[in-house]
Structure 1
Amino acid sequence: MFHYVYLLESIKHDNLYIGYTSDLKRRLVEYNRGLNFSTKSYKPWRLIHYEAYRNEDDAKRREGYLKTSQGSRLLKRMLKSSFHCLERSSYLK
């Protein structure tokens, strides 16, 4: 079983969201159905990046790191050339 750290982009807003799950497809469906209170006003969402881990603790650690200022800078550098939304998003500044 894999555990995933993912980055979602709101299609209608300049918002990004970093999360962790063991079922990536199910989680994306939940976001787009508005089942997550904190993100439902920003739907629809699309998946723009994910990382797979065999160990759940490793995935949780990575999610926590990517949510720090140092981790968000790393993620921004990794994906900057692919996604112009990273330039506008306050989440990764």
Structure 2
Amino acid sequence: MFYVYILKSKSDPDRYYVGMTSDLRARLKKHNAGEVSHTSKFTPWELKTYVAFSDEQQAIAFEKYLKSASGRAFAKKRL
């Protein structure tokens, strides 16, 4: 399975991060340990939502969409 996830920073509640992984628990631990350069300044993180895909290409496309302007608006309103 491939997971597209949205994290919310506990230290800066207006800060969100969208990513993709095949091991959601391990990836969240890496974010919270400061091992991911894009998220290390805003630890700790909590999982806001995730979507599981069996197809990697669909997961990549959905992650790309969530990082677009219309995808951010969708996530803010629906997720």
Whether the TM-score (by the shorter chain) exceeds 0.5 is: yes
- Whole-angstrom distance in 2 between the partners of 1:39 and 1:76: 19
Secondary structure, in 3 states, of the residue corresponding to 1:73? Answer: helix
| Unaligned runs of at least 5 residues, structure 2 | none
Name the Cα RMSD after superposition. 0.7
Secondary structure, in 3 states, of the residue corresponding to 2:78? Answer: helix
Consecutive aligned runs of 4 or more in structure 1 exceeding 6 Å deviation = none
Q: If each structure's strand is expressed as a fraction of its own residues, which one has the higher value? A: 2
Secondary structure, in 3 states, of the residue corresponding to 2:75? Answer: helix
Corresponding residue of 2:3: 4
Q: How far off its partner does 1:64 sit?
A: 0.0
Percent identity at matched positions?
40
Q: How far off its partner does 1:38 sit?
A: 1.6
Corresponding residue of 1:37: 37
Corresponding residue of 1:27: 27
Cα deviation, 1:53-77, whole Å, max 9, x if unaligned, reads 0001100000000100011111111
| Unaligned runs of at least 5 residues, structure 1 | 80-93
Corresponding residue of 2:55: 55
How many residue pairs get matched? Answer: 78
* TM-score (norm. length: structure 1): 0.81
The residue correspondences of 1:74-85 to structure 2 (distance < 5 A) are 74-79=74-79
Secondary structure, in 3 states, of the residue corresponding to 1:26? Answer: helix
Secondary structure, in 3 states, of the residue corresponding to 2:62? Answer: helix
- Whole-angstrom distance in 1 between the partners of 2:39 and 2:77: 24
Give, as a single letter, the amino acid of the residue that structure 2 aligns with 1:19.
G
